[in-house]
């Protein structure tokens, strides 16, 4: 029987460089054997977990977000598995009804090459409590941390709106009487502003249904009640320094008794130019004041210094 042209070409191709092909096959088998025969090591691989439910039902209990697989096998294979990005294990409960559902995990939840085996899975199963999804409007408490910078005062703080809608499992939502914002740091705020704030919902296992509220902060400078004139400006430098503005004026805030006993030798400005080369510099003045006296305004704020 005559052979087809295609089969002839295949057979002829196999006859070309037969020795090299056999050697390559032999080498591949040897390398594969070395890998499989190498000392086994153990590693732990975590895979994300995703629970899929209908819109009407929501998990009401704490569920791990990752499943750990303890693996054993050749080091080369395990390194590749650890570096590999895994798709999440998806638990499809879209057709489930409210109540308790047990889901078990098996070795086939992770794709493994020959020579790698699963020693253990943690957790090996999870219990999922499905409840009706509920929405409810609750008040929000604005949490503030720290104080506005010295010389400023917080006049007013409020949330807009003062209530938000949360969504989650029915029992979780019913337990929420109020939600708080994550602490808003005041330490760098010197002007009135409006900003979005994040809500602390993780502990209550509910989610925000809608946009987050905004915090409105009214911040104003504290007015000065005294002016100190002809304040000395000192330059710190290894070079000779010449100031274009040799003195300055300070608007300060302090109790009248403190001002009456003010030691003027403890009131001065400092320009630190240590380590600078000779030249002309425009620098902001740092004010040194005794305890109980707060600088509100400095005139001038910037002075010109010539190092010679």
pTM beyond cutoff 0.85: no
For strand 214-221 and strand 193-196, is the pairing parallel, antiparallel, or unpaired? antiparallel
User: For residue 8, which phi and psi values (nearest 5 degrees)?
Assistant: -60, -45
Per-residue confidence (pLDDT) for residue 192, from 0 to 100 = 94
Q: Which two tokens mark 250?
A: 């300070």
pLDDT tens per residue, range 85-101? 999 999 999 999 999 99
User: Can you give the pLDDT at residue 1?
Assistant: 47
Greatest Cα-to-Cα distance within the chain, rounded to the nearest angstrom: 123
Tokens of residue 90, six digits: 């998806």
Output the pLDDT for position 92.
95
pLDDT in tens, 143-183: 999 999 877 889 999 999 999 999 999 999 999 999 999 99
pLDDT reading at 18 higher than 90:
no
Residue pair 49/88 in contact by the 8 Å Cβ criterion: yes
For the domain covering 39-132, report its CATH number.
Answer: 2.170.120.30
Which regions of the chain carry the CATH code 2.170.120.30? 39-132, 226-307
Most confident stretch, 83-87, 123-127, 189-193: 123-127
Q: How far apart are the first and last CA of the chain?
A: 107
Query: Which pLDDT does position 34 carry in this prediction?
Result: 52
As beta bridge partners, residue 234 has: 270
Sequence-distant (6+) residues with CB within 8 A of 67 are: 46, 47, 49, 89, 105, 109, 121, 122, 123
List, in order, residues 6 or more apart from 255 with CB less than 8 Å away: 292
β-pair partners for 139: 163
Nearest-angstrom CA–CA distance, 118 and 73: 9
Higher model confidence: residue 221 or residue 43? 43
- What are the start and end residues of each CATH 2.170.120.40 domain in the chain? 133-221
Chain-centre distance for alpha carbon 121: 29
CATH architecture entry for 133-221: Beta Complex (2.170)
Contact predicate 117/78, CB 8 Å: no
Q: What is the DSSP letter of 129?
A: E
- CATH code: domain 226-307 is 2.170.120.30
- For the chain, how are helix, strand and coil distributed in percent, rounded to 5? 20, 45, 35
């Amino acid at each position: 029987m005559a052979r087809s042209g295609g089969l002839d070409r295949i057979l002829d191709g196999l006859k070309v460089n037969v020795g090299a092909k056999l050697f390559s096959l032999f080498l591949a088998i040897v390398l594969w054997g070395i890998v499989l025969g190498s000392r086994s090591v153990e590693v732990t691989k975590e895979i994300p977990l995703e629970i899929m439910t209908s819109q009407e039902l929501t998990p009401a209990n704490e569920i791990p977000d990752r499943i750990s697989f303890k693996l054993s096998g050749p080091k080369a294979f395990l390194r590749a598995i650890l570096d590999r990005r895994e798709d999440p294990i998806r638990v499809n409960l879209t057709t489930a009804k409210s109540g308790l559902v047990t889901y078990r995990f098996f070795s086939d939840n992770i794709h493994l090459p020959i020579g790698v085996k699963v020693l253990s899975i943690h957790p090996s199963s999870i219990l999922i409590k499905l409840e009706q999804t509920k929405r409810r409007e609750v008040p929000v408490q604005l949490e503030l941390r720290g104080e506005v910078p010295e010389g400023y005062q917080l006049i007013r703080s409020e949330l807009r709106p003062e209530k938000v809608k949360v969504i989650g499992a029915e029992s979780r939502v019913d337990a929420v009487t109020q939600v708080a914002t994550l602490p808003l740091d005041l330490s760098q705020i010197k002007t009135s502003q409006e900003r979005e704030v994040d809500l602390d919902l993780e502990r209550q296992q509910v989610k925000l249904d809608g946009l987050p509220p905004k915090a409105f902060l009214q911040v104003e400078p504290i007015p000065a009640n005294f002016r100190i004139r002809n304040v000395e400006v000192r330059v710190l430098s290894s070079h000779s320094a010449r100031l274009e503005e040799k003195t300055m004026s300070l608007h300060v805030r302090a109790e009248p008794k403190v001002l009456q006993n003010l030691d003027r030798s403890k009131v001065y400005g400092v320009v630190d130019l240590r380590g600078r080369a000779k030249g002309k510099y425009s620098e902001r003045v740092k004010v040194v004041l005794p305890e109980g006296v707060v600088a509100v305004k400095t005139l001038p704020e910037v002075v010109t210094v010539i190092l010679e």
